[in-house]
């Protein structure tokens, strides 16, 4: 994993994990994050429109120092669209851009948290290996989605059949880029928060895809043999589109 010099960015702690290239819509209502959105809206370059999305560790609250409650690897989100409300709230659309490691948290300088971060780039992989892994991951991911489809209640319209086919592809088409495949599968597969955090912190695309292959095999086994759904189905409905 390649690191670059430190930078300071505003932070938006969330109970989720963001990956590069994945769309993140948010409804912003807290005063401190309204102030953050107003700051981002005045920026005249891409870097100025970025804020750091970092996961909150389960069972923790964001206190005055905040750092112990946060995972140490996050991803920036670039502000793309803002819909303001008369009462000061915002609906925003952002897109994951680049990974970082969080070194320090500053809770005093601004109404919202800021962090000193190091940028993380994927380490190089052997030629051809990510492509092979991405194909295997994609096949297992779609198989997993088909199995999940069987657990969803189907409410047919008057002119539709009573049940959807179990082998439906759930509407997903994976891209050709192995790195983007690794990010989209990490977002949309039925993984736990800790699983996703581990995938975000992976040193390379190859490492991430290998982890996903192992995790997907686990989930497919659970779904096909144990008839168990690992997380609530509502949490799995994540948009798959890049940018």
The predicted model gives 203-226 an average pLDDT of 91
Whether 17 is in a domain gets the answer: yes
Supply the pLDDT for residue 67: 54
Same domain, 113 and 9: yes
Same domain, 96 and 8: yes
The predicted model gives 122-147 an average pLDDT of 90
Same domain, 108 and 142: no
Q: Looking at the predicted structure, is the pLDDT value of residue 62 above 50?
A: yes
Same domain, 195 and 84: no
Whether 241 is in a domain gets the answer: no
Same domain, 108 and 134: no
Long-range contacts of 189-194 (CB under 8 A, 24+ apart): 189/141, 189/144, 189/215, 189/216, 189/219, 190/144, 190/148, 190/219, 190/229, 190/230, 190/231, 190/236, 191/215, 191/219, 192/230, 192/231, 193/15, 193/16, 193/17, 193/55, 193/58, 194/58
pTM of the predicted protein model: 0.80
Domain end call among 121, 153, 182? 121
Domain end call among 105, 121, 137? 121
Whether 242 is in a domain gets the answer: no
Same domain, 204 and 181: yes
Same domain, 195 and 230: yes
Supply the pLDDT for residue 151: 66
Query: In the chain, pLDDT over 90 holds for what percent of residues?
Result: 58
Average pLDDT along the chain = 83
Same domain, 76 and 154: no
Q: Looking at the predicted structure, is the pLDDT value of residue 42 above 60?
A: yes
Supply the pLDDT for residue 26: 96
Whether 243 is in a domain gets the answer: no
Same domain, 15 and 45: yes
Give 203: exposed, middle or buried? Use CB within 10 Å, 0-12, 13-18, 19+.
middle
In tens, the pLDDT along 75-106 reads 999 999 999 999 999 999 999 999 999 999 88
Q: Looking at the predicted structure, is the pLDDT value of residue 172 above 80?
A: no
Distance CA 118, CA 74 (A): 10
Whether 162 is in a domain gets the answer: yes
Q: How many domains does the chain have?
A: 2
Same domain, 88 and 17: yes
Same domain, 207 and 154: yes
Higher-pLDDT residue of 65 and 14 is 14
pLDDT band at 1 (very low <50, low <70, confident <90, very high): low
Same domain, 117 and 178: no
Q: Looking at the predicted structure, is the pLDDT value of residue 108 above 70?
A: yes
Supply the pLDDT for residue 166: 36
Q: Which domain holds residue 92?
A: 2-121
Q: What is the CATH number of the domain that holds 114?
A: 2.30.130.40
């Amino acid at each position: 994993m390649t690191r670059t010099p430190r930078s300071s960015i505003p932070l938006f702690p969330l109970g989720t994990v963001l990956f590069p290239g994945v769309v993140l819509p948010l409804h912003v209502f807290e005063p401190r994050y309204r102030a953050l959105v107003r700051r981002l809206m005045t920026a005249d370059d891409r870097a100025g429109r970025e804020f750091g999305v970092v996961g909150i560790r389960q069972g923790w609250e964001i206190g005055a120092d905040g750092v112990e409650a946060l995972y140490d690897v996050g991803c920036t989100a670039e502000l793309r669209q803002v819909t303001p409300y008369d009462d000061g709230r915002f609906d925003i659309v952002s897109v994951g851009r680049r990974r970082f490691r969080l070194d320090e948290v500053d809770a005093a300088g601004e109404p919202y948290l800021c962090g000193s971060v190091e940028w993380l780039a994927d380490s190089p992989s052997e030629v051809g290996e990510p492509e092979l892994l991405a194909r295997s991951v994609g096949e297992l991911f779609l198989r997993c989605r088909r199995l999940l489809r069987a657990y969803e209640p189907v409410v047919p319209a008057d002119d539709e059949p009573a049940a959807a086919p179990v082998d439906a592809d759930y509407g997903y088409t994976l891209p050709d880029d192995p790195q983007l495949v690794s990010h989209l599968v990490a977002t949309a597969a039925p993984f736990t928060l800790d699983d996703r955090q581990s995938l975000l912190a992976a040193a390379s695309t190859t490492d991430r895809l290998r982890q996903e292959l192992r995790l997907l095999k686990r989930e497919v086994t659970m779904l096909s043999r144990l008839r168990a759904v690992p997380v609530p189905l509502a949490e799995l409905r994540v948009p798959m589109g890049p940018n």
